[in-house]
C-alpha cells in the first residue's frame, strides 16, 4: 500500500475498524473509503456489488461483523451465522471480481476447538468440536478463512486472514448484556463505584483463562501484516499472555477504584476453559505487541469516562 492507495475499511465504526482507520490516518494514508451500515448493507449482494463497481478499492480490511459476548452469541445463533456469512461472502467475492490487490479478513480466536491444546496453534483449526455457545459465529469465521484460502488457490487472490485474541479498548461496546467480558466488567465496576454499591456480580466461576489485546495493538499488527505478509496460512494475533477472569476482574476493580466485594454467579456459563494464542508465527513475521494489560485498561477506562453517557445509552 502507498499513501494514495484506495483502501476500504469495512466496519469502520466498530472497535477494530475504527482502530485500523486511526492507524492508516496516523501513517498518512489519505484515500480511505468507509460506509456506515445504513449507507451500505453488507449483507445485500446487489448493494455490495454496486459499491465495488462505483468505488473500485485497491485494498480491503474486512473488519465488519455481527459480534457480541457469550450471551449474545448463544441467543442470536441464526442471526450471527447468517449475517456474518453474508457479509464475508459479498465482500470477499466482490474483492475478487473487482481485482482488489490485497484483502485482510479478520476472524476470532473462537474458531478453535473447545478443548484444543494450549497455546492455540494455527494448525489446530478443525481438529475437534467447537464451543457450543458460539459455534454459529465460529463456523462463519472459519468459512471466511476457507473462502480466502480457496480464492487464493483458484483465482490467485492475495487474500490473507488474521485471527485476533480477545480485544478491548477505544470505541468498545459496553452494552450490559451483549458486550464482552472486559468492557462489561469495566462498566459494572464504574456504575457500582458511582452508586456506592457494596458488591459487583461477575458471571461464572472466575477460573477460565483468557488473553486480552488492546485494539490499537491489533490495528498495528493488521497494518504490519498487510504490508509484509502474503501467505495462505492465517495468523494468530495476540499477546501470548493470559490470566484468569478472577485476576482480570481484580485488575479492573483496581483501575476503576471500586472498593466493594465481588460476587460470582456460578449459574452463568464459563465458556472455554482456556484460550491462549500461540503467536510465534506473528513474532517470527517480525511483530510484537506494545501495550500491557494494566496500562490498556487504564487507557480504556479514561476513554470510557470521556464518552460514558453516550456509551451506556446503547
Feature table: binding site: 11-17, 106-109, 141, 164-167, 180, 188, 203, 210, 270
Distance separating alpha carbons of residues 59 and 157, to the nearest angstrom: 12
Distance separating alpha carbons of residues 51 and 254, to the nearest angstrom: 47
Phi-psi region of 104 (alpha: psi -120 to 50; beta: other; left: phi over 0): beta
Dihedral sign, CA of 68, 47, 102, 224? negative
Annotated catalytic residue within 137, 151, 168, 229: 137
Element (H or E) spanning 142, and its range? Answer: helix 135-155
DSSP secondary-structure letter at 178?
T
Cis peptide, bond prior to residue 119, ω within 30 of zero:
yes
137 is catalytic: yes
Feature table: binding site for substrate: 188, 203, 210, 270
Phi and psi at residue 111, to the nearest 5°: -65, -20
Distance separating alpha carbons of residues 221 and 201, to the nearest angstrom: 34
Feature table: binding site for NADP(+): 11-17, 106-109, 141, 164-167, 180
Distance separating alpha carbons of residues 32 and 7, to the nearest angstrom: 5
Distance separating alpha carbons of residues 114 and 120, to the nearest angstrom: 11
Lookup: cell for 168: 478491548
Catalytic sites, residue numbers = 137
Amino acid at each position: 500500500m502507498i499513501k494514495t492507495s484506495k483502501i476500504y475499511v469495512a466496519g469502520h465504526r466498530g472497535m477494530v475498524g475504527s482502530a485500523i482507520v486511526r492507524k492508516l490516518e496516523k501513517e498518512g494514508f489519505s484515500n480511505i473509503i468507509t460506509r456506515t451500515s445504513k449507507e451500505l448493507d453488507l449483507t445485500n449482494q446487489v448493494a455490495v456489488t454496486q459499491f465495488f463497481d462505483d468505488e473500485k478499492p485497491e485494498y480491503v480490511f474486512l473488519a465488519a461483523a455481527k459480534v457480541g459476548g457469550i450471551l449474545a452469541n448463544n441467543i442470536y445463533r441464526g442471526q450471527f451465522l447468517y449475517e456474518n456469512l453474508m457479509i464475508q461472502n459479498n465482500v470477499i467475492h466482490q474483492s475478487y471480481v473487482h481485482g482488489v490487490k490485497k484483502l485482510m479478513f479478520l476472524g476470532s480466536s473462537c474458531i478453535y476447538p473447545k478443548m484444543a491444546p494450549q497455546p492455540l496453534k494455527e494448525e489446530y483449526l478443525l481438529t475437534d468440536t467447537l464451543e457450543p455457545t458460539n459455534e454459529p459465529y465460529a463456523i462463519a469465521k472459519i468459512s471466511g478463512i476457507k473462502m480466502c484460502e480457496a480464492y487464493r488457490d483458484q483465482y490467485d487472490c492475495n487474500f490473507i486472514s488474521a485471527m485476533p485474541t480477545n480485544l478491548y479498548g477505544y470505541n468498545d461496546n459496553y452494552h450490559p448484556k451483549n458486550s464482552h467480558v472486559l468492557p462489561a466488567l469495566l462498566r459494572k465496576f464504574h456504575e457500582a463505584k458511582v452508586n456506592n454499591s457494596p458488591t459487583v456480580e461477575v458471571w461464572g466461576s472466575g477460573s477460565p483463562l483468557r488473553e486480552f489485546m488492546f485494539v490499537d495493538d491489533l490495528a498495528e499488527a493488521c497494518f504490519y501484516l498487510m504490508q509484509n505478509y502474503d501467505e495462505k496460512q492465517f495468523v494468530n494475533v495476540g499477546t501470548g499472555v493470559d490470566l484468569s477472569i478472577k485476576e482480570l476482574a481484580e485488575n479492573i476493580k483496581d483501575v476503576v477504584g471500586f472498593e466493594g466485594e465481588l460476587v460470582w454467579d456460578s449459574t452463568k456459563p464459563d465458556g472455554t476453559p482456556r484460550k491462549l494464542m500461540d503467536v510465534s508465527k506473528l513474532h517470527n513475521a517480525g511483530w510484537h505487541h506494545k501495550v500491557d494489560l494494566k496500562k490498556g485498561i487504564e487507557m480504556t477506562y479514561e476513554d470510557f469516562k470521556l464518552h460514558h453517557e453516550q456509551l451506556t445509552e446503547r
